[in-house]
Structures are given as C-alpha cells and as structure tokens.
A and B are shown apart, each in its own frame.
Chain A
Amino acid sequence: MLLGFAVVAGGLLFAATSLQAAKTTDTINPGIPTKAVGPAITQPIAYSHQLHAGKLGMDCGYCHTNVGKSAIANIPNVSTCMGCHNYVKKAAGQTQPSPEIAKLTKYYEDGVSIPWVNIHQLPEHANFNHKRHVKAGVACQTCHGPIQTMPVVYPVKKLIMANCIDCHKANRENVNTPTNLDCVVCHK
C-alpha cells in the first residue's frame, strides 16, 4: 500500500518469471492482493524481502527450496543464508558491517536456529500442500501478496477457509487444474 502501483505492475511481471511459468488462466491467479490483513510482525533478524526478492531479484525458490517437493514450504536453513552472507557482511553502500548480518552469523556459529515468527499460520486442523499448488501454477504472490515489495512481511490474505474455497470452487471445471472440494483433502 505504501509502495505504489508501479511496484504492483512490476510484481505481476515478477510473478510471470517466478518459480514456475505462471499459467495465464485467470481463475488460478486472479490477482495479487495488496491490502494488509495483519500486522508486519518484527522478526528476530530484520530480513528484507524487498531487498532480496525485489531489488536483487532472487527467485522465491532459491531459499524456499521445498515448495515444489513437499507439503511444507520451508523457511530456508540458516546455512542457506550463510551461502552468501559468509562473504557479504555489509549492506550495499555501507562501510560498516551490517548488525543484522552479524546477528545471522552469530546464530549460525552458535548452531542456534533462528526463531522466525510465523506470519502465515494455518490452524492445525487444516492441511495445506504447497507442492500441489505450486505445480498447479499458483503464483506465490496470489496468496502471499507482493512479497518482493515488503521490507517486513505482512499477511494479505486471511488464511480462512472461505478464501481457499473461493478459488477451489471457481476452478472445479478448470481443464488444466481442476480443484478438489472434498473436505477430507484438507481436513484429513
């Protein structure tokens, strides 16, 4: 909301070049919600998607490696961050090492996992399978919003059943990716 529509347009373009070649069927990716439905919760390290995914153009799947392999889309391992940050200790244009990167390095060296706060928290009585949605061509931004514009992640889609059903109902007869409306699929 704060970032302007130019970025939104760029975001749509980004969606086309993101993880999978996004299908052009509108019903699967009806648009990117932008209005926040929850707070941007401060995380233990001030990691900025706007910098990494937006400015640097990193693919979502570079860090969230298991989206296409598992029901659980993983938060990247600390070692994934260290892949670059072993060497990149300063923010662009800074002369002093970044305190956030220093925090990250300390976590890694101490062997402590970073206690990220879960923004997109699905209740335990529902199961969501990332792999199937990614393979069906749902863009990350369709549910997670314009992540690449967010310095701190905030939710743009309430994870309530109605939001899931909207898309699942709309795509029942979709030729390429028909959806399932069976209760037990998510509530097994």
Chain B
Amino acid sequence: MSDEINEQPLPLRRREFLKLVGVATAAGAGAGCLEFPPPNELIQPYVTAPENIIPGVATYYASTCRECPAACGLHVKTREGRAIKLEGNPAHPVNLGSLCARGQSALQGLYNPDRHASPKQRQADGTFKEITWEEAEKLLAEKLAAPGGAIQFWTGQETGTRAALYDAFVGALGSAERVVHEPFAWEALREGNRLAFGRAEIPTYDFAAAGSVFTFGADFLETWISPVEYARTFAARHGGDKLELGRLITFEPRLSLTGSNADEWVAIKPGTEALAALAMAQVIVAEGLARGSTGGLDLTPYAPANVAEQVGVPADVLGRLAREFAANGPGLAIAGGIAAQSARATHAVVAANILTSVGGGLGTALHFGRTLDLGRTQSTRELVPAIERMNGGTVGVLLVHGTNPAYSLPGALGFETAAKKVAFKVSFSIDPDETSQLCDLILPDNHPLESWGDAQAWTGVRSLLQPAMRPVFRTKSTPDVLLAAAKTLGKAQGMLAAATWRDALTAAWGGPGAAWDAALAAGGSFAAPAPGTATLAGGLGSLAFTAPELGGDAAGTPLVVYASPNMYDGRGANKPWLQELPDPVTKVVWDHWVEIHPDTMKQLGLKRGDHVALKTPTGTLETAAYDYIGIRPDVFAVGTGQGHTAVGGRYWKRGGNVAGFLPATYDEASGALAYVAVRTSLNKTGKKYKLAYLGGDPYTGGQSRQMGRGIAQAIPLTELRPTEHTEDKRESHMSEHGDVEHAGGHGDPMLHLPGFIGSPVPADPIAHAAKEAPNSAYAKHAKYKWGMVIDLNSCNGCQACVVACSAENNVAFVGKEQVDKGREMMWLRIERYYEEHDGKLEVRHVPVMCQHCGAAPCESVCPVYATYHNPEGLNAMIYNRCVGTRYCSNNCPYKVRAFNWFHYDFPVPLNWQLNPDVTVRDKGVMEKCSFCVQRIRDAKDHAKDEARDVRDGEMVTACQQTCPARAIVFGDLKDPESRVTKLVEHERGYKIFEEINTYPAVTYLKKVTRDVPV
C-alpha cells in the first residue's frame, strides 16, 4: 500500500472485491484470511438503530426458560440483536439467578442448524418442500374447515395464557380435543399427594428446612420437579458451612447424581420404595418416636423383618436409619422420580408422605404454601383412548406442538401407526423430530427465546416470556398462526378475537401500561408464598402396599430406567453442548449405555464399551455396556433421551431410545408410564463399538480413583465439630510439622518420603496471596488480585458451570472421536472420584479449571511469552502469540489446558451465539480458563465510569454466576472484606497439589462427610 495519499480513484476491481467481503460490524467473527495485510472489511451501520441497542454494549431481556416444567426466570444477554448468553433472573423466586446445564444450553436450541427453518409441505414422494407462510396458513385453514373427522391437538405441558389459548382454539373448533403428553409430568406424585393430603398438587419441598432427607428415587438435583431451586435449598441446609447432623440418605437400586451427594446409599430392589419407607415408619411409630400420624394405616405388616427380603436391605439397617430419621428432624421423605416410576409409583409417594409425617416434616419441610401447577396434563394411560380414536380412523386432522409422542411413547402404544391413519397431520415443532417427520405440514413455532408467552408454574410466580431477538429462521409464533386460522374460520370470539398473540397476552396481564412494563422488566410478577400446611388425610388404612410385578422373562434382570440429567426426555439431544457434556455419573460423552455392576459384567463376559442388546417381549434396545459400581449387581440401568431416529438432527442419532422400547405398562393408581417395568436379557451383539469419556483413555479418563493424590478432599463432620470422644482423634491428624492448617490431609503421602521437604503453608494467607507471585514486583501496581474459592461441600456435580463456561467463552465442541483422544476443549470439568470406607461408597465431585498458579509451571516454558502472569494474578493466555509448542500443557499438573488440534466449526447459526468479547480460537492455539477476563474488564470498565473500584460481588465469573448451589466464590484477595479473602483462610480450605508449590489462586473447601449418624 502506498504511503502517499492516492488522489486517483481506485481501480474498479478492488471495489468489486470489497463488495464481496461484507462484515456487519468491526467485531464480527470473520472468515480466516490468508492475505496480509487483509483487505479492508466493510463497516456497516444500522439504517435505523433499534432503540435499546448500542453496538458493543449488551442489552438484557427478562424471559423464562422452557427447557423443563420448572420455568426458571432468565436474563437473556443480547449483543447487536443476538442472544449470546443465558443467565438466571436474580429476582425470580424459583432460581434466584442461577441456571442449570439444560437451561444454559437453550441457546443451542435457538441456534440449532437443524431447526425447521420455514414452513414445509410433504410432497408425494415423501420429501418436504419449503413453502411460504401464506400457502401454509391457507392450507391449514382449509383442512381445519373441512377436517373429515375429529381434530386432535397434541401439546406438551403448558400453563398460563398459551394453555388458555389452546383450549379456546380447540373449544371453538368443535369436535376437537386437546391431548397433553409431557413425558415427565409427575403424575404419580400428584396422585400420591391426592391420596395422602387430598390435594392432587406438587407441594413445596423445602430442603432448607429439612433435617434428614430420605429420597426414594427422587432425583431432586437432576430432573425431579425443580432441580435448580432444590440444589440451592439443599446446599443451604446440607452444604457450605452448615454442619447440621441431618443426613441425606438415598434409597435406589442405581446411584444417581443426586444419590452421589448422599451421605449413605441404600441399594433397595427396584419398585420397593414404598415398602422401605413404610418399614422405617413402622420402626419410628413402634418405638414411640413418631411426630405425626400415619393417616390411619396400620404399619405392622410392613415391619422391617417382614419386608427386608423383598426390599433387599437388612432389617437392622432399616431400623438404624429409621431412628436416625426420627432423631434428626424435621424429616423429609420424597419419592416420585422417573427412576422409581414403577407400577407402584403412587404408593411409593404415599408411603414417603407417611414417613415424612411421622418424621415431623409436614408443615415445615413439606407444605402447600406454594404449589407447582403443570396445567392440565394427562397420564400416559389417558392417552390410550385418543390413540385408539386415531387408529379407528375417526380423526381427520392431527396437530402437534411441544411434544414428541413418536419418540417418547412406547412403540407398543402404536402412536406412529395410529397417526399414519390420520388424513392430515400438522406439526408446529421447532426441531425436526420424529413426530414432525410423520406430518404433512410443518408450521414451525418460534423458539421460546423468540416468543411472547407466560408460564404460571409455582403459586404466586407468574413468569413472562418476551422475544429476546427476532426469529432466526422463517418461523412464526404458533399462537399467532392459530389466531389467524380462527379468524379465517370465522371463530374469532373471546380470546381468539385478539389481533395478535402479543395482544392476547398483554390483555391477560391486565392490558398495556405501567404495570405491564414493570412486569416485562422484572420477568413476571412474583408474590411471596403464603405460609403452608400439610395434613395427612385419614383413610389410608385401606391401601395395600406391595412391590410391583415386573414384566418380561422371570429369568431376566430388572431394568431401571432413569431420567438422564443431560438429555432429559430427549429434547436436548440435538444440542452439541449437551452431547459433549459428560454424563455427570459415568462421564461418558456423545453416547448411550447400560450400567451393569462390575461383578455382573465379569459374569457375563463383558468389557466396558461392548455393544449389547437388551431384549424384552416388546422390544430390543441396542446400546453399549458400562461397568458401574453404583448399581445393584442384580439390576441394569439405562438413561432416557438418546436414540433419536429422526433424520433431520445431525447430533442426535446415537444410542438407543429406551422410552420407545418399554412396554405400555402403567403406575396402577395414576396411569403414569411405568419406566421401571420389565426384566430384560442382555447379550453381546458382536458389533465393534467404543464408548468415549471425558479425558479419553478409559483408564485415566473418567478416572475414578484419586490414589492418594488429595484432589478431592473431605473431612468428617466429627473431626470438624469434635465431641468429647473424638477430641483425641483430631490431635493425631495434625501434621508432623506442627501447622494446624497442614498441607495435604488425606492426600499427602509425599511428606513421608525420605528427603522430601514439604512447603510450609503460611500463616497469613492474605499477605501471602498478595505477594506470592514470583513476579510480584509487577503485581505491586495492581489494585486487585483475583482469587476463587470452591466449596466442595456445596458442589453437587451437576455441571451447569461447564456449559455456562462454554457458552461464555466460545469453547468449541469436538465430537466423540476427538474426546476419545483426550482432545476435549472444555475449560472446566467436574472430576468424579470414588472413595470407599468400610465397604461404603462415597462419591466426590470437584470442579477443576485453570488454577492460575502463582508459580505456574506453564508460564516459564512458553518460548514466545504467550502465557504469562498478569499483575492481577491471572494466568493470562494471549492466543495470537501462541505458536502451538504445547509445552505449557505438558507442564500443567492440573491438565487444564486445551489445544486446538483442528479448526473447529460452529455450524451456522450456532456461531451467532459466540461472545464478541472473547477471541474465537483457531487451529494451533492453546486455550484455558481465563477467570472470565472479559467480565473482569467489563466490571472494571463500569467501575471506572463511576470513578470507583470494583465492589465485591460485582465481578462474577460465568461458572459462579450459574451455580445453583452457590459453590463458587470469586473476588479480590487484596480486599480484606471480600468473601473470597475470608474464605481463603477457612478451616476446610486446601489447594490441589499444594505440595508442589504452584501457589494456585483457587482454594477448595473440603467436603464434609457425615459417616456417623447420631
């Protein structure tokens, strides 16, 4: 380029070239350019700027998450009109600012490349052709005007205004019915509560108020009802510095993630939840410890001696636990999870309620102050007549929205066959799922993040949805389509007379005005809950509690089906974040498996990863074998959500669909689908297969043993709070060096090696933290020193933080093959270790990310100074300087660095989600956790605007922000008043591999184990 001003007009060819290079703003993620200097980009302004958008500054909208019925509140962060990050709404009573892994992944549903991008019509040859909305709506109206039979409108669970609109629409059509199919609808729970309390509702389960919590297959930290809320309230009682004696005991044949956080696991036989609960209630009543009634039920037949064999647990264990439950009240017993949804699921709930009652939990830990409304739902059994009507040929038009019955109903119910007999089928589905694949006309709805709406989940909590951006694709809001159809059909009365869905919604909220605007900004209207009570109904004496009969060959093995925390009911399966997110229990990625006890595996001659087939009288399920010590040897377990067959999804065609393979059997009382229903045989198929885990190699990756390394440390409650008897034990745990706060604890065998001189842990952590960096002269200038504390007593291993980090930091997903080679890119991982004490299994979860070491082994070996210690204590990574020697990763003892072995794609429009404040890394560059340096810059920027320092709590990393259990704390170690500074000197504090003198900036607080009940 010439240094002189060029007064001549430029040659035309350059201008033509430039016209081809279009970039929206200077911050776009442009295509890689091999020329230097690169040709000038275009810099294009808005024609008319939208009111709320300042390019470069994020705009937040309040909305509601619809990834499960809990309906947590959202703050959607948008940049230049694109939603890029989801965070919980701090004002929303359910989640109070946090969000689970599935909620964080909703963005990949919004930007899913396989979404239905436009209306489509099935052609004669079976393929779909894109059509215009005018054509599509015209066709819809025609078919609804002359359906040639009844109309069935299948929907998922809906509450609030949308549910009202659906019902109004169906009502206006005449000879039409709304059929509701929500795979996880807690039917047994509601029926059990109706029998026990006279209220067919889901009450408030207040874990923060409970002393002992006994769970009978209710995975309240994963999928049961409202996991984000429960993770918080559970951590409030059982985690952090709460050293209450009340324990969490889990009664399940297969140890779930929730169970892995329990203080004791009781491996009952599948379906015997009710018997186990009643046995313990019987002991409590018999020994005069009961604090509530049994509802008139005589518990004598259920004494432990009578049911021990059926339950598979020794009678004395049941007795011991019963006494513990009574002694550490208020006792809360919960049931009704998917993994315990057998033919006796309702009875399990009733039994749990009785146990809660005698344990003194009614009115405190369980009450009806705030109840969950799922709207009108139907149990799976209630769907049978509707399917029969389709099968009988009397249904002329089928409409489907927000539900995927062709996938989530057992094949034995024959939904697909019946649906094929319906002359005209319409799908409003967002994803190209199995049900929409069957349909004749597809009118894709907007994604919830593009939609107006509301959710009336919990009493007094009315959540609003508002579009955070314009629709990504050529989709249209289904309520608007229905309103237009109603008008065309001349049925626009009442609610259907609204001009648009937005008008209908606004009207339902009292019309436009100040109150509506305030509700939109707040995310809804939230009323404080009324104080609640719960009283056991009488008349429970007529109930007879037995274990269910499982179908299938008597010689087969009972199959437990559990709800996958990542895949849920299958809706998340086409999201690469969720597929690459390791299963929290097994750490398997991108796959599906059947869990088998290692002893049983040996008996069956199986190795981990062997391809097997499960066979029952109603179906075959092909999957891979996984040896898991957290399962009864006489049981197999399989998770839901994989095994999609719909051709449209590129990420979800893997594994087996267990829901489709189950027989059509039900919980007798409520009609819920029995997930635990059948015995199965298991045989190798002979096909070659491999499972991939986080970390690759099955020996080192998903590694389950610490082998004395002291990575995830724990301290018994009795040691923290010694009683008279344990005082002496505590003395002996003090290190030989005499420091009370000694290094290592369980994991410090190094100290005993001859010649090894351990490093002294300084008495003054603040001064130490301030000066520990070797290049601390540089650090003297800095106003802040960033540090993090992670409380392992609160962390439950849910991995919400992992997805939040990936979303915030543009972390690539690499696919099964690369993860198998140990090339996953995740900056943060939850390591899961097994410990065994006296034959009892203890599971520990520890989040590991870059420790930002003060004496980092990685910094000194970079030949180009691409990674260095910044004055504020961060180990900073400068991507454009990295040349890819990978020496840093070699040196890292924590193995937290990820190398970009390839150029990883973000298929359009997944790349719309990328955070413009964070560099997108390309091939050849090393990356790792940066302590969210872009958020640190942002916080300092705002503080500087206001001419002040960053306040404690203002700077929140992405992982910290989303954690439902509030396990992560981040802040300034130079501020004596900050939370981090106070926690760094906590008595439970330790650092990983402290003995090798890396001086990490991350302090962990030991998990507190409650081995010994009172």
Chain A residues in the interface with B (C-beta under 8 A):
1-2, 35-42, 66, 69-72, 74-79, 107-108, 111-119, 121-127, 129, 131-132, 135, 154, 182-185, 187-188
- The answer to whether B125 has its CB under 8 Å from any CB of chain A is no
B321 to chain A, nearest CB (A): 52
Q: Which one of B4-12, B435-443, B493-501, B578-586 is at the interface?
A: B4-12
Q: Is the CB of B15 within 8 A of A187?
A: no
Docked complex Cα distance between A108 and B46 (Å): 10
Contacts of A122 in B (CB 8 A): 26
Instruction: Give min CB distance, B80 to chain A, whole Å.
Output: 9
Interchain Cβ contacts under 8 Å between A and B, 20 examples: A35-B3, A36-B5, A38-B1, A42-B10, A75-B45, A78-B47, A107-B47, A108-B47, A111-B47, A117-B40, A118-B26, A121-B26, A124-B30, A125-B919, A131-B945, A182-B870, A184-B874, A184-B876, A187-B878, A188-B934
Q: Is the CB of B44 within 8 A of A124?
A: no
Contact status A72-B6, CB under 8 Å:
no
Asked if residues A66 and B54 are in contact (CB atoms below 8 Å), the reply is: yes
Q: Are A76 and B45 in contact (CB under 8 A)?
A: yes
Given contacts A72-B56, A118-B42, contact A77 B49 (CB under 8 A): yes
Q: Report A-chain residues with C-beta under 8 Å of the C-beta of B54.
A: 66, 69-70
Chain B's nearest CB lies how many Å from the CB of A63? 10
**For the complex, what is the distance from the CA of A54 to the CA of B577, rounded to whole Å?**
53
Q: Nearest 4 A-B pairs (CB), nearest first?
A: A70-B56, A72-B56, A125-B880, A184-B876
Cβ of B879 within 8 Å of any chain A Cβ, yes or no, is: yes
Q: Tell me whether B6 and A39 are in contact (CB under 8 A).
A: yes
Once A76-B45, A117-B42, A183-B876 are accepted as A-B contacts, the answer to whether A41 and B10 lie under 8 Å apart by CB is: yes
B868 touches A183 (CB 8 A): yes
Pick from B9, B43, B933, B934: contact of A75, CB under 8 Å: B43
Partner of B2, one of A39, A77, A112, A116: A39
B825-875 interface (Cβ within 8 A of A): 868, 870-872, 874
User: Given A39-B1, A70-B56, A183-B878, do A188 and B919 touch, yes or no (CB 8 Å)?
Assistant: yes
Q: Which A residues are in CB contact (< 8 Å) with B47?
A: 77-79, 107-108, 111-113
Residues on the B chain within 8 Å of A182, using CB: 870-872, 876
Q: Provide the residues of chain B in CB contact with A70, threshold 8 Å.
A: 54-57
Instruction: Tell me if B18 counts as interface (CB < 8 A to partner A).
Output: yes
Give the docked Cα–Cα distance between A74 and B56 (Å): 9
Cα–Cα, bound, A69→B880 (Å): 27
B4 nearest CB neighbor, chain A only: A36
The one of A35, A72, A115 that contacts B26, using a Cβ cutoff of 8 Å: A72
A94 vs chain B, min Cβ distance (A): 22
Tell yes or no: B729 within 8 A of A by CB: no
Q: Does B142 lie at the interface of the complex (its beta carbon under 8 Å from any beta carbon of A)?
A: no
Find out whether the CB atom of B870 lies under 8 angstroms from the CB atom of A183. yes
Cβ-defined contact, A184 with B933, below 8 A? yes
A132 contact set on B, CB distance < 8 A: 941, 944
Q: Which of B877-931 contact A (CB under 8 A)?
A: 877-881, 917-919, 930
User: Bound complex: CA of A126 vs CA of B879, how far in Å?
Assistant: 10
Write out the residue numbers on chain A whose beta carbons fall within 8 Å of the beta carbon of B46.
77-79, 113
The 8 A CB mask of B953-964 against A (1 = contact, 0 = none) is 000000000000
Q: Which residues of A contact B687 (CB under 8 A)?
A: none
Tell whether, in the assembled complex, residue A121 and residue B40 are in contact, meaning their CB atoms are under 8 Å apart: yes
The residues of B that contact A37 with a CB separation of less than 8 Å are 3
Asked if B5 and A40 make an inter-chain contact with CB atoms under 8 angstroms apart, the answer reads yes
Q: How far is the CB of A171 from chain B (nearest CB, A)?
A: 13
Give A78 to B56 CA distance when docked, in angstroms: 18
- Interface: B780 (CB within 8 A): no
**Is there an interface contact between B10 and A115, defined as CB atoms closer than 8 Å?**
no
Contact B870 A115 (CB under 8 A): no
Known: A69-B57, A72-B27, A113-B44. 16 other contacts (CB 8 A): A38-B3, A39-B1, A40-B7, A42-B10, A66-B57, A70-B56, A75-B45, A77-B48, A78-B48, A79-B49, A113-B47, A115-B18, A118-B40, A125-B919, A131-B945, A182-B872
A136 — nearest CB in chain B belongs to which residue? B944
In contact, A113 and B880 (Cβ under 8 angstroms): no
* Chain A hits for B57, CB < 8 A: 66, 69-70
- Tell me the complex Cα distance, A127–B878, Å: 12
- Complex: A40 Cα to B7 Cα, angstroms: 7
Task: Find out whether the CB atom of B870 lies under 8 angstroms from the CB atom of A114.
Answer: no
Where the two chains meet, the residues of B that have a C-beta atom closer than 8 Å to any C-beta of A are 1-7, 9-10, 15, 18-19, 22, 25-27, 29-30, 38, 40-49, 54-57, 868, 870-872, 874, 876-881, 917-919, 930, 933-934, 937, 941, 944-945
- Give every chain B residue within 8 A of A127 (Cβ-Cβ): 917
Nearest Cβ in chain A — how far from B17, in angstroms?
Answer: 11
Q: Let me know if A187 and B880 touch, CB within 8 A.
A: yes
B55 contact from A38, A74, A135, Cβ within 8 A:
A74
- Asked if B944 and A154 make an inter-chain contact with CB atoms under 8 angstroms apart, the answer reads no
**Interfacial chain B residues near A183, Cβ < 8 Å:** 868, 870, 876, 878
Shortest CB distance A62–B (Å) = 14
Contacts of A36 in B (CB 8 A): 3-5
Q: Which residues of A contact B871 (CB under 8 A)?
A: 182
Q: How far, in angstroms, from A107 to B38 measured CA to CA in the complex?
A: 27
Q: In the complex, A37→B4 CA distance in Å?
A: 7
CA distance A108 to B49 in the complex (A): 12
Q: Closest CB of chain A to B411's CB: distance in Å? A: 51
A125: which B residues are within 8 A, CB to CB? Answer: 879-880, 919
Q: Considering the chains assembled together, what is the distance between the CA atoms of A115 and B273 in angstroms? A: 68
Q: What chain B residues lie within 8 Å of A111 (beta carbons)?
A: 47
Which residues on B sit within 8 Å (CB–CB) of A40?
5-7
Chain A residues near B881 (CB, 8 Å)?
A: 187
Q: Within the assembled complex, what's the spacing in Å between the Cα atoms of A1 and B762?
A: 64
A188-B918 in contact (CB<8A) = yes
Q: Which residue of A lies closest to B937 (CB)?
A: A188
Q: In the complex, A2→B918 CA distance in Å?
A: 41
Minimal beta-carbon separation of B77 from chain A (angstroms): 15
The distance from the CB of A124 to the nearest CB of chain B, in whole angstroms, is 7
A115 surroundings in chain B (CB, below 8 A): 18-19, 22, 42, 44
| Minimum CB–CB distance for A187 against chain B, Å | 5
Q: How far is the CA of A117 from the CA of B45 in the complex (A)?
A: 11
Cβ–Cβ < 8 Å partners of A41 in chain B = 10, 40
Q: Which residue of B lies closest to A112 (CB)?
A: B47
By the criterion CB–CB under 8 Å, are B48 and A72 in contact? Answer: no
Bound Cα distance A161, B871 (Å): 20
Chain A residues, Cβ within 8 Å of B4 = 36
In the complex, what residues of B have CB within 8 A of residue A112's CB? 47
CB atoms of B40 and A188 under 8 A apart: no
User: Chain B: which residue is nearest A71 at the CB level?
Assistant: B56
Chain B residues near A135 (CB-CB < 8 A): 944-945
Is the pair A114, B44 in contact by a Cβ cutoff of 8 Å? yes
Give the residue name and chain of the A residue nearest to B934 (CB): A188
Q: How far is the CA of A182 from the CA of B945 in the complex (A)?
A: 20
B7: chain A residues within 8 A (beta carbon): 40
Question: A2 CA to B26 CA in the complex, in Å?
Answer: 30
Bound Cα distance A131, B9 (Å): 34
CB distance A77 to B876 under 8 Å? no
**Is the Cβ of A121 less than 8 Å from the Cβ of B41?**
yes
Q: How far is the CB of A130 from chain B (nearest CB, A)?
A: 8
Give Cα A129 to B945, complex, Å: 13
Give B870 Cβ to nearest chain A Cβ, in Å: 5
Known: A79-B48, A188-B937. A2 touches B5 (CB 8 A): yes
Contacts of B38 in A (CB 8 A): 121, 123
Residues from chain B with a CB closer than 8 A to the CB of A119 are: 40
Complex: A78 Cα to B6 Cα, angstroms: 27
In the assembled complex, the Cα of A121 lies from the Cα of B33 at a distance in Å of: 14
B10 contacts A75, C-beta separation under 8 Å: no
Contacts of A79 in B (CB 8 A): 46-49
A8 and B2 alpha carbons, distance in the complex (Å):
23
Closest approach, in angstroms, between the C-beta of B937 and any C-beta of chain A?
A: 6
A112 and B26 CA atoms in complex are apart in Å by: 18
A187 touches B879 (CB 8 A): yes
Whole-angstrom CA separation of A35 from B44 in the bound complex: 27
Closest residue on chain B to residue A156 by CB atoms: B5
Q: How far is the CA of A124 from the CA of B49 in the complex (A)?
A: 24
Are A118 and B941 CB-contacts (below 8 A) given A42-B15, A79-B48?
A: no
